[in-house]
Each structure stands twice: as C-alpha cells, then as structure tokens.
Structure 1
Amino acid sequence: MAIEQKDVLFTLVKSLSKSEKRQFKLYVGRLGGNSEANFISLFNLLDKVSAFNDDLILKKTNIKKQQISNTKAHLYKQILVSLRLNPVHQNVRSQIREQFDFAAILYNKGLYKQSLKILDKAKEMALHSGENNLAYEIVEFEKIIESQYITRSLSNRADELSEQAKALSLRNTRISKLSNLSLQLYSLMLKEGYVKDDIDSKKVKLYFEKRLPNYKLSDLEFRERLFLYKAYLWHSLIMQDFVLSYKYSQKWVDLFENKPIMKKHNSVFYLKGVNYLLESLYLIKHKTKFNKVLENLNFDIQNKNIAINENTNTLTFLYYSQNKLNLYFLEGRFNKGIDYVKKLLEEIKQFEAKIDAHHIMVFYYKIACMYFGAGKNEECIFYLEKIINNKELKMREDLLCFTRVLNLVAHYDAGLDYDIDKLIISTYKFLLKMNDLHEVQRKIILFLKNLSNIYPQDLHKAFIKLHSELKVFENHPYEKRSFLYLDILSWLESKIQNVPVEVIIKQKAKELIK
C-alpha cells in the first residue's frame, strides 16, 4: 500500500523548497563519505517519487530491510538540522537559544567572563522581544555562573539577579494564567458554542471572572497584554458581543502597530489578531473600517513586514482570502465576487495540503453563499453538498446547521422542490440532533414546510408575514447570529419586491457605517 502524506518523512521531504533541497545536499556533502550514504539514497528516492512504500526502497536503493527504520529516522534528523541552519528559519528565539548554547560551551571551558558577556547580550535581546521565558532561563544560568565566579566590579550583582529572576517569574506566571484562560475559553466555545440565553450568559461570565488573574494594566508588558486582550476577545465572541470583540481585537492589533518589530518576531499572533479584527468588523458591518484593515494587511504582506515562511504564507492566504470574500458580502457584489471565487478555487488547490479540512469547508460555505447571492442556486447547492456529504468532518455546529438551512432555501429558490418534503424532514432532524435549533431556523423550516399548502396568489402575503416575524430577531442578543450566516431577511425582501437578492443587499450596503 502506498504511503503518501501520512508518512512524516515523506511529508517533510515534499515540503522542502528547491533552495532547501540544495542546502541539504551541500550540508550532507561536507564530508566526502556521505555521497554514498544510505540516507542520501533514500532522500533522492523520496524527492523523485509521488508515492512510496518499503518495497520500493528495497528495489531502488541498497538499503536492507532491517536498515529502513534507522535510515528513515537518521534522514529525518539530518533534514531538520539542515533546516535549522537555514537563515530563512532563523528568528529571534533561535538566535537567543544559539547565544545561550554558545555561553554554555564557554562556561564548560571555564571561560566565565566570556560566557556572562554573551548571556547579558542574549538577555537584553530576550527582554526587548518579549521572550520572558528565555530571559528567565538566562538569568538562572547567570546565577549559576555568579555562584562560582563573583565579579568584583559589581558588588550588588547577586541581589540584582535575584530581583530579575523574581520579576520574570511573576511575569511568566501571569502570562501562563492569561494564556490558559484564552485557551480554556476557546475550548469552551468549541464544546458549548455561543451563549443561547441568559442562563448561558451568566455561566460564561462566572467562568471568565473566576479564572481571570488580578492585574494592573500599567504593570503589563507586551506579551501579558496580548494574552489579556485575547482572553477578553474570546469572552466577547462567546457572549455574542461583537462591539466588544471589535474593541479587544483592535487593542490586540494596536500592540503590534505601536511596536512594529513584533510583527516579525510574533507574526502568527499578529496575523491572527488582524483576522479577528476583520471578523469583528464584519459582524458589526463596519464596511469602511473593514476595507482599510484589509488593505493594511495586504500592505504588510506585500512589503514583508511580517516574517515570511511557509506557515505565515499559508495563514496570509487563509486570512486574506476569507476576508476578501467577506468584503464582497458587505458590499453586496456577488456577481463580481464569483470572478474572484474562480481564482480562489485554483489557489485553494495549491494550499490544500497545508490547510485543514475544516477551513476548506468554510471556504466552500462562503463560496456557496456567493453563488446564492448571485442567484446561481444550483452552483450554491453543489458546494453545500460538498460539506453535507463529508461525513468524517468535524466542523463548528453553527456552520453545519446553516449549511443545511441554506441548502433547503437554495433548493426552493432553484425550483428543485420535487423532493423538498424529505429534505425538510432530514434538515429538521439534523438540527434537533445538533441541539442548535434557534427560533429563526424553526420559523424558516416551518414556512418552507407549509409552502405546498399556500395558493400562488397568497405567496406574496406569506413572504411579508415571515419577514415581519423574523425582523424582530434581527438585533436579538442570542438570535442575531443567524442572520450573519444566512441573510434570510434580504432574500425575503427580494421575493417581496420581485428583484434579485443582490440588488437588496447592495442597497443596504450603501446605508452601512461609512
């Protein structure tokens, strides 16, 4: 059986760029004897083939069966060593660790003064870049050296190091508590979803307040504030308080704008902060600000204001593309958005090995919404069915629910109503099983279920009636999210006014926050 992406060594080899492969060959070729080494033969084989198994290794190389496991392990380690030496993969943390290692070598040779000099520079770099854990390790090492080599030039050296260690320990403890809280809130959202009523709201508020450590904002440095704002952001998203989520995601991004060097030192955190800011702006429909933030993100990407590597390349594609789709939604430009979708689908193919299945399905949902807004219901159904038919996928419950509701509406709109009763029943059962049947969803399904009993001349009145029933939930604290995933009100207004839904949404877009 062929082993493809499941084999970690094969995956690693296939992830290498041309320059990384060239550097690896130069690295292992530094000793003449390596040219015929088994692990080089294995590397050359894996580089050429698109799939492999152990029989192929035995057939194409001189590696014996009992050598395969050790050869693969050795090759894996050598590739990682080579990548570690590549300047592309160097960052401030690796530079600090390298200096730490140099200091350890000098210490072992009894060259205490030289070791302390390097540690002092490394500590300054760590503190400047917010790497407090590394700074703490350095201080602890300095204490070990000072216990054997007292520098008479600084009589209070021991007290100074003790105070530094104490301050860094307190700071690291606070960072750990705040990062734990943000992670726990994220886990809570995955398990329980968004608050659905006042009881849920009180539970989440109590959960948050109980775990939030005491702090004085003026005492907090970059990394502490980052995790503080991250925790508040998750709390506000779970509570469906989108204005607060905008406030804290903006604070998150402002940390990086006020200290631009951190965009390179902590690029992933920066990109995630911008993505949450864009998501919050989309949820409150602040079109102008959304557009400006998206332009700033594109500027940072194009001007390499962030660290460029395969991880950040994937994240920039993911965040920029998803929010570009959201911009088309905000502006109501669905037909124009379809032109972008065609280009996007090609880009998704290029990144699909690096993007998890959940995010690809999120793309499919947004693409389906784009086609729905453009009145192309059959294309909309095509992408929705990709999600519905993926039985192994673990997606957010709210997206799974609205995928099926939109599928139901698209079938009706496309005139594919010959089997709609069965579709309604299966959708209703699914929503009940997911325990996420909101009042908005319930009313939509009930309306579609009764469509066959409505005379054609009464259909216009039925649309008006459903619109008035749903309109009251538009700003409801626990129901409003339904309209963010599926703009059913605009669809009803298009039926009432007998115009395309894109026309309705474009009219509303003109009235959004300037």
Structure 2
Amino acid sequence: MPNRSTDTLFQLIKSLEKSEKRNFKLYANRNSSGEELKIVQLFDALDKMEDYDEALLLRKNDTIKKQQLSNLKAHLYKQILSSLRLINDETNIDIQLNEQMDYARILYNKGLYLQSLKVLDKAKDLAKANNQFTYLEQILFFEKSIESLYITRSIQNRAEQLSKESVVVNNSLTLTSELSNLSLQLYSLYIQNGHSRNEKDDAAVQNFFVDNLGDKTSQCRYFYEKLYLYQSYCWNAFIRQDFLQYYRYTQKWVTLFEKEPYMISIETGHYIKGMHNLMGSHFDLANHKKLQVTLEQFAVFCNSEIVLKNVNNRILCFVYLTISTLNKHFLEGSFTEGLQLVPEIEAKIKEYEIYMDRHRILVFDYKIACLYFGSSDYEKAIDYLNKIINWKVDLRTDLQCYSRLLHLIAHYELGNDEILDSLIKSVYRFMAKMQNLSVVEEEIFKFIRKSFQLSVKTIKPELEKLLVKLKKLQDNRFETRAFIYLDIISWLESKLENIPVQDVLKRKFAGKRIN
C-alpha cells in the first residue's frame, strides 16, 4: 500500500485538523488581495480531493493557470505553516525557549544589555530544568557575546563562570551526538538486515558496537546522554537476539522517563518508542504477565492529553498499542479473537496512510497474516503475505524471507501440490540469495520436499523426527528468530495431533499460567 500522494502540499493539507483549517481561513482572509484569494481557492480544491491529481485540479479550477500553480503551491505551503505557528502549543518547551531568545535579541538590539542578560538568565534556568542543552549552548554563546563586547559588570568572575558552563554543555552535546549517532546506526542496521544470522554477523555487530561505544558508558550524567546510551545497548542486544539484555535496557529506557516525568511531554516520541520496545521484550521473552501489565499502562497513556492533542503521538500509539495487542493474542493462542481487530486496524491504516511508512505497514500485514494462519484460514493468510512478497525488497529482508516461508507452508496446508515444487525452489533461492537460510529453515525445506513422496501412514514418523530436531534448536540463539516469526514447533504438534495450531498454543498458555 503506497502513501496516498508524494505531493508535500497535499499531504500537509490532509494532515490538518478542523480547527487548524478554520484558523488558516481566518489567517489567509486577513486581507483581500487577489493572490490571497487564489491560495484559499487552491486550498479548498486540494482539501476536497481524495488523491492528488494535478490535471483534474486545473480542469475544475479554470482561474488557476498551469504556469501559476507552482508559485501558488509554494506560497500556500508557507502560509499554512505560518498560520499553524500562531496556534501552536504555548507549553511546548522549544517554543518557550525560542520566544525567550527572541525577547533577549530585541532588548539587545535596543541597547538594553542588562535587561537582555536578565532574560537570557531566565531562559538558561528553563533550559537546564528541561535538559535542553542545545538551547543552553545558544544562550551561553549569546551571553558571552554580550559580555565580550560591552562592559556590563553584571556579576564578578563572569568570564570564568561562562567558560566553565560552556565546557560542561559542549562536552555533554558532543557525548550526546556520538551516542545518538551510534543508536541510529544500529537501528538502521536492524531495519536493513534484521537479526544476526550466525556467529559472523553477531561478531560484526558486537565489534561495531564496542568500537563506537568506547568508554562512554561511565561518562553519561544527563538525560539525553543516558537515553541514547540505553537505546544503543537496546538495539545491539535486539539485533544479536540477546533478549534478556534487550529487556534490561528497554526497562532502563522507560525508567529514565519515570524518574523525570516532565520529559515525557518534551520527548513523547522517545517515551512511546521505549514503551513499545519494553512490550516487545516481554513478548520475545514470552512473559505474558508483564506484557499485560505494561500494555494496560500504555493504553492509559494513549488516552492522555499529551497523545490526543498531537497527531504524530496518536499515530505512534495506534501502531505500537496494536502491535503489542496482537502479540498478546499470539502468546495466548487466541488468533480467532484477534481477527476481530482487523477491520479496525485496516480502517486506521487507511486514515493514517499518508503518514505511515512501508516498514510499519509490512509489520501489520505479516501479523495479520499470522492471525489468519493461526485460525486455519490459509487463503486469507496468503492474501496478506502476497502484499509483502510483491513489495520492493528494500526494508526488513528477514520479514520478506519469513513471509515467503509462511506463504509456502500455507500453500502446503491447502494441498496446492501443483505449485509447491516451484514455490520451494523460489523461496529457497530467495533466502539463499539473502544469506538468510537458518538450520530451522533447511530442515523445514527438507521435510516439505520429502513429504511429496510420503503416504498418510508414513508422514507421521517424519513429522515426529522433524519435531525432535527442531526442539533441539530452540535454545540456539541464532535460531530464535525462526520460532518468534513462525512457531513451527506448535505447527508440527498441531499436525501430529490433527488439531488447529491455535488449540496447541492455548493449551501451552494455560499450562504456563498454572505453573
């Protein structure tokens, strides 16, 4: 599912709330010049369109000429942003600090240096209280500029104090920058390649992490330094499938916000991502009880004012709350119950499609396919898997690989023998090309190939042999992802017992709860 349109103006208009559209109209109509009336006309025309179609736009609005359109669109885009700036949240720390900096500059330009320094001092306290070191650097630079150009005699030892403050801030910003770079690079590695597949991959990721981390762990004192440090440890552990370490650092990530709760409103996106990863770690460790508790906590947060008044926060909460809710159904084996969420999920994806990237939609398609597979509706599972398979392979090669594997097994379940042979060859070639073939996958391929020649009587012993082999691989760290993406053990047990796979998982879940 591609984004609705790549036209930036169209996307901006479609992102506006009703109140924001009303405010823009008032802002644009503050004078009655011909150009302003034309941009309002263009705004209304684009607002009514479902999809951006320039030819249709020009046909239905003959007062807008093709040669004018580019300039009108650029002007409209700028005016919308200007109108949004006027109604932005005054409690936003960035806006408050920018405002204080503006006031200080105005006073400075008036020659009122002491008053300017007084405003900067208040801004400095605000920046320190909210861990805003980038603003603190700007404030200190401005203060030093005033002190070096004019004899203010504001306080004694001013030069020494400002110099010390600048060193602390600059060191913190450098450390934060290095750690945020490391975190981003590790996350990018995961998006491109997925989990480590073998010892070689594992060593490469770990060496990259250790070489770039150096002795930075002991240096971290402030909020952002710790945030990016925990994120770096988190992504390193996740890629290497060290899920216990992954849990520890996602918990540190969330606890950091709980210790400084005012930072949740400042860095809401990072808090939401931290909660998502914490819930994901509970799922990876099959800790249903902790997943349930954290999921309930996150659901309450998703209905808070911080989330509801911000479209970006609403989208992130929808994505991560839904993924974790589906994961809970997977742990419980309640696939059929989980299918009740699909219409609502698809409606939300449609509502937010201009914002959502491919990676997120891929994840939804795979998880919905798993729900259908677990409910024994293999044809619907194939429909969703085809959406992933037919997409250009540019993200999450591991997800592409497992989609093909689940697609193959779904056709096997349907008894589509006439296409299985070609499918096996196609999937094998794809996964080998991606260097993604694990021992688990090799064993599955061997079994499916052999099963063509087996009778109903002789297939059961082969299933039992495969089950024994795979159970031995469950504790192999590099095979973990195969069992997370596709619970092949439960599938084999369902085949041996001739019952739906979700019944096997429900029984296992009930047993765990008793224990």
Q: Percent identity?
A: 43
The Cα shift of 1:348 comes to 2.0
C-alpha offsets along residues 337-359 of structure 1, whole Å, 9 cap, x if unaligned? 11122322222222222211221
In structure 2, distance between residues paired with 1:161 and 1:452: 78
Partner residue in 2 for 1:210: 211
C-alpha offsets along residues 35-79 of structure 1, whole Å, 9 cap, x if unaligned? 854323322332233444267448625445543332221111111
Partner residue in 1 for 2:126: 125
Look up the equivalent residue of 2:510 and give its one-letter code: K
In structure 1, distance between residues paired with 2:475 and 2:119: 59
C-alpha offsets along residues 244-283 of structure 1, whole Å, 9 cap, x if unaligned? 0000000000011111111110000001111111111111
Further displaced range: 230-239 or 116-125? 116-125
Partner residue in 2 for 1:455: 455
Partner residue in 1 for 2:184: 183
SS state at 2:187 partner: helix
Partner residue in 1 for 2:412: 412
In structure 2, distance between residues paired with 1:507 and 1:55: 58
TM alignment of 1:476-487, pairs within 5 A: 476-487=476-487
Look up the equivalent residue of 1:318 and give its one-letter code: V
Partner residue in 1 for 2:446: 446
The Cα shift of 1:322 comes to 0.9
Q: 1:39 to 1:445 in 2, by over 3 A?
A: same
The Cα shift of 1:329 comes to 0.4
Look up the equivalent residue of 2:180 and give its one-letter code: S
Look up the equivalent residue of 1:240 and give its one-letter code: Q
Q: 1:191 to 1:358 in 2, by over 3 A?
A: closer
Look up the equivalent residue of 1:476 and give its one-letter code: N
In structure 1, distance between residues paired with 2:193 and 2:36: 57
TM alignment of 1:309-458, pairs within 5 A: 309-390=310-391, 392-458=392-458
Q: What 5-or-longer segments of structure 1 have no aligned partner? A: none
Partner residue in 1 for 2:501: 501
Partner residue in 1 for 2:23: 23
Partner residue in 1 for 2:174: 173
In structure 2, distance between residues paired with 1:230 and 1:188: 14
The Cα shift of 1:88 comes to 4.2
Q: Is the 8 A contact 1:368 1:381 kept in 2?
A: yes
The Cα shift of 1:104 comes to 1.1
Partner residue in 1 for 2:469: 469
Q: 1:89 to 1:474 in 2, by over 3 A?
A: farther
TM alignment of 1:76-155, pairs within 5 A: 76-88=77-89, 91-155=92-156
Look up the equivalent residue of 2:454 and give its one-letter code: I
In structure 2, distance between residues paired with 1:171 and 1:101: 25
In structure 1, distance between residues paired with 2:277 and 2:259: 18
The Cα shift of 1:134 comes to 1.0
In structure 1, distance between residues paired with 2:189 and 2:322: 27
Partner residue in 1 for 2:298: 297
Q: Is the 8 A contact 2:182 2:232 kept in 1?
A: yes
Q: Is the 8 A contact 1:387 1:403 kept in 2?
A: yes
1:491 aligned to 2:491?
A: yes
Q: How many residues align?
A: 511
Look up the equivalent residue of 2:87 and give its one-letter code: N
Q: 1:504 to 1:86 in 2, by over 3 A?
A: same
In structure 2, distance between residues paired with 1:432 and 1:55: 47
Q: 1:4 to 1:501 in 2, by over 3 A?
A: closer
In structure 2, distance between residues paired with 1:209 and 1:36: 57
SS state at 1:437 partner: coil
The Cα shift of 1:33 comes to 4.0
Look up the equivalent residue of 1:383 and give its one-letter code: Y
In structure 1, distance between residues paired with 2:90 and 2:311: 10
Q: Is the 8 A contact 2:393 2:400 kept in 1?
A: no
Q: Report which structure shows greater RCO (CA 8 Å, sep ≥6).
A: 2
Q: 1:491 to 1:27 in 2, by over 3 A?
A: same
SS state at 2:477 partner: coil
Q: Is the 8 A contact 2:250 2:277 kept in 1?
A: yes
1:222 aligned to 2:220?
A: no
Q: 1:61 to 1:138 in 2, by over 3 A?
A: farther
Q: Is the 8 A contact 1:263 1:306 kept in 2?
A: no
Further displaced range: 24-33 or 117-126? 24-33
Look up the equivalent residue of 1:296 and give its one-letter code: Q
Look up the equivalent residue of 2:422 and give its one-letter code: K
The Cα shift of 1:308 comes to 3.3
Look up the equivalent residue of 1:143 and give its one-letter code: K
In structure 1, distance between residues paired with 2:220 and 2:199: 34
Look up the equivalent residue of 1:299 and give its one-letter code: V
In structure 2, distance between residues paired with 1:367 and 1:184: 29
In structure 2, distance between residues paired with 1:54 and 1:35: 21
SS state at 2:72 partner: helix
Further displaced range: 418-427 or 364-373? 418-427
Q: 1:170 to 1:361 in 2, by over 3 A?
A: same
The Cα shift of 1:305 comes to 4.7
The Cα shift of 1:492 comes to 0.6
SS state at 2:111 partner: coil
Q: Is the 8 A contact 1:42 1:57 kept in 2?
A: no
Look up the equivalent residue of 1:395 and give its one-letter code: L
SS state at 1:450 partner: helix
TM alignment of 1:68-83, pairs within 5 A: 68-83=69-84
In structure 2, distance between residues paired with 1:90 and 1:195: 43
In structure 1, distance between residues paired with 2:96 and 2:145: 22
In structure 2, distance between residues paired with 1:437 and 1:24: 55
Q: 1:196 to 1:7 in 2, by over 3 A?
A: closer
RMSD: 2.2
Look up the equivalent residue of 1:493 and give its one-letter code: E
The Cα shift of 1:167 comes to 0.5
In structure 1, distance between residues paired with 2:422 and 2:362: 24
Q: Is the 8 A contact 2:192 2:397 kept in 1?
A: no
SS state at 1:478 partner: helix
In structure 2, distance between residues paired with 1:371 and 1:45: 41
SS state at 2:149 partner: coil
C-alpha offsets along residues 436-464 of structure 1, whole Å, 9 cap, x if unaligned? 01110111011011111112111211111
Q: 1:233 to 1:397 in 2, by over 3 A?
A: same
Look up the equivalent residue of 1:175 and give its one-letter code: T
Look up the equivalent residue of 1:18 and give its one-letter code: K
Q: Is the 8 A contact 2:137 2:170 kept in 1?
A: yes
In structure 2, distance between residues paired with 1:418 and 1:161: 78
Q: Is the 8 A contact 1:267 1:307 kept in 2?
A: no
In structure 2, distance between residues paired with 1:115 and 1:56: 51
In structure 2, distance between residues paired with 1:4 and 1:410: 31
The Cα shift of 1:511 comes to 4.0
In structure 2, distance between residues paired with 1:342 and 1:66: 44
Look up the equivalent residue of 1:334 and give its one-letter code: F
Q: What 5-or-longer segments of structure 2 have no aligned partner? A: none
**TM-score (norm: length of structure 1):** 0.94
